[in-house]
Chains A and B, each alone.
Chain A
């Protein structure tokens, strides 16, 4: 079974600084998707970034980028120029490509605090 591990229950960063959230996963599949979702206090889950395992290039979305290390099964999220609105729970998630129902497996989350 696939597992996703987020070893940092809480992180904090000074506004405008850079922070990296860690995520590791375990799978025997060679093709899969990885995601980072953000859950602000409103509880609305928001997709931050998506990475396809077959792509070597790390995904980027504006201030958000990932460091995808397939051999190490590591998928960290870097937030640059942190803003107050980035404060939220961040969940790393995994999804098989070949799973017809495409279930997401979530990590336990990292609570990110932005210090003004």
Chain B
């Protein structure tokens, strides 16, 4: 149980284009999902917190107009990197927090990540 998927696992795009990354909780409902960015050999940096049916809460320094987050249902959140530039190249990881009453450990379950390369 507690599987989180991300799609795509990797993407290469041209500078100026937009890229959408999906995060799905496959076998549980997630009222809250989180989006992280990880640079090589560094820790995870929280970008934003996404609650189903409401606007995402962005961390300080993260441009909400550049990183659009939509939490459309209890099992799906999307991150859209708009007008991507080479400096946006990174590893993006989502996680999902289990809604109460589902018999799983109360923690965040992580997706496998998406490697974005902007040329």
Which residue of A has the minimal Cβ distance to B46?
A: A103
Closest Cβ of chain A: how far from B105's Cβ, in Å? 6
Contact of B51 with A43 in the complex, beta carbons under 8 Å? no
Q: Which residues of A contact B91 (CB under 8 A)?
A: 43
Grouping DSSP codes into helix (H, G, I), strand (E, B) and loop, the B interface class, with mixed when no group exceeds half, is strand
Q: Which residues of A contact B49 (CB under 8 A)?
A: 101, 103
The yes or no answer to B93 lying at the interface (CB within 8 A) is yes
Interface residues on A, range: 10 to 19
Contact among A35, A37, A101 with B51 in the assembled complex (CB-CB below 8 Å): A101
Which residue of B has the minimal Cβ distance to A105?
A: B46
Which residue of B has the minimal Cβ distance to A101?
A: B49
Contact of B32 with A42 in the complex, beta carbons under 8 Å? no
**B21-45 at interface with A (beta carbon < 8 Å):** 32, 34, 38, 42-44
Contact of B105 with A47 in the complex, beta carbons under 8 Å? yes
How long is the Cα–Cα vector from A101 to B54 in the complex, in angstroms? 13
Closest Cβ of chain B: how far from A75's Cβ, in Å? 15
The yes or no answer to A74 lying at the interface (CB within 8 A) is no
Q: Which residues of B contact A37 (CB under 8 A)?
A: 110
Contact among A47, A91, A101, A108 with B32 in the assembled complex (CB-CB below 8 Å): A101
Known contacts A44-B112, A45-B93; A106/B43 CB under 8 A: yes
7 contacts between A and B (CB under 8 A): A33-B106, A43-B113, A45-B44, A47-B105, A101-B32, A104-B108, A108-B42
